[in-house]
Amino acid sequence: MPRKLAKVFQVKPEWLLTGEGPEPNALESKLTPVEWKSMDQDKNEYVTVPLIGVELFAGNGAPSIVDVEKYEQPFRRYTLNKQGVSPTCAKVAR
């Protein structure tokens, strides 16, 4: 079976079985990853939204909601506005 799949996808059977070595049909990406904090951020286009860790409790004597801000995540203002979300009120829960 691996030999048939390897022939169809034009890869070596060993690569299919182990995944080791370079991916045969992979293309070199021209994109360069950039850390958000090191970018010049366009405040008119992007807004940072806090990512929070949320714990919910139910029962007697337990706090109902505990949230802790972890870090901020960038979003385009257009995306939030399209969904009807106010950038000043937005939070991402984890």
> What pTM was estimated for this model as a whole?
0.48
**pLDDT on residue 61:** 67
| DSSP labels, 44-61 | TTEEEEEEEEEEE--STT
**pLDDT on residue 84:** 94
Residue-wise pLDDT for 66-89, tens only, equals 667 778 888 888 899 999 999 888
**pLDDT on residue 17:** 83
* Least confident residue range of 43-47, 50-54, 61-65: 61-65
**57 vs 86, higher pLDDT:** 86
* Least confident residue range of 2-11, 30-39, 43-52: 30-39
Rounded Cα distance between 42 and 46, Å, is 6
